[in-house]
Amino acid sequence: MVAKLTGTHQVDEFMQRLEHPLKREIEEVRRMLQGMDRELAEQVKWNAPSFCYRNEDRVTFNLRGNGFFRLVLHRGAKASVDSVDMKPYFEDIGGLMEWAANDRATIKLTGMEDIEAKSGLLIEAVRRWVDIE
C-alpha cells in the first residue's frame, strides 16, 4: 500500500510533475509564501498549490492562463453570509488586487520581473489577508 502524501510533501510532488511555462516563477512565489508564517500549511487544492491558516483556506494558486498565473485570496471554498468584507483593509495596496467578491481577490503575476516588482506588496497583502479574522 502506498502512503498518501500530505502537506508540503504533496505540493513538492505536484510541483515536480507540473508542466507550466512559468514554473520557475510559481516556485519562487511558493517559496515567498512558505517563508512568511510558520502557521501557513500547504496542500494541493483546485489542482494547484494552496495555503491554509489554522485549517482555513486562504491563498490558492490559479495556474490556468496563458503567460500568467494568479494567487486567489479567499476565505474558504465558498462565500458565506457572515463573511468579512475584506476590501476596506486593502485600500492602500495600490491596485495589486482584483476583487471577485468582498471576500475573494486575485493577484495576477506575469513573470519574474513582475514578481520582483510586486514582492513587497504581495507579502503585505497575503499577511493582512491571513491576519484578518
Per-residue pLDDT tens over the stretch 35-82: 886 688 999 988 999 999 888 889 999 999 889 999 999 986 555 555
Quote the pLDDT of residue 3.
45
Per-residue pLDDT tens over the stretch 88-130: 878 877 789 999 888 899 999 999 999 999 999 999 999 999 8
Closest CA to 40 of 55, 27, 29, 28: 55
Which CATH number belongs to the domain containing residue 79 in this structure?
A: 3.90.1150
Quote the pLDDT of residue 35.
87
Break the chain down into helix, strand, coil percent, rounded to 5.
Answer: 35, 25, 40
Q: Tell me the C-alpha distance between 131 and 95, whole Å.
A: 20
Domain range enclosing 93: 7-131
* pTM for the full predicted model: 0.87
Quote the pLDDT of residue 58.
92
Is 1 inside any structural domain?
no
The DSSP annotation for 28-87 comes to HHHHHHHTT-TTEEEEEETTEEEEEETTEEEEEEE--SSS-EEEEEESSSS--TT----G
Is 24 inside any structural domain?
yes
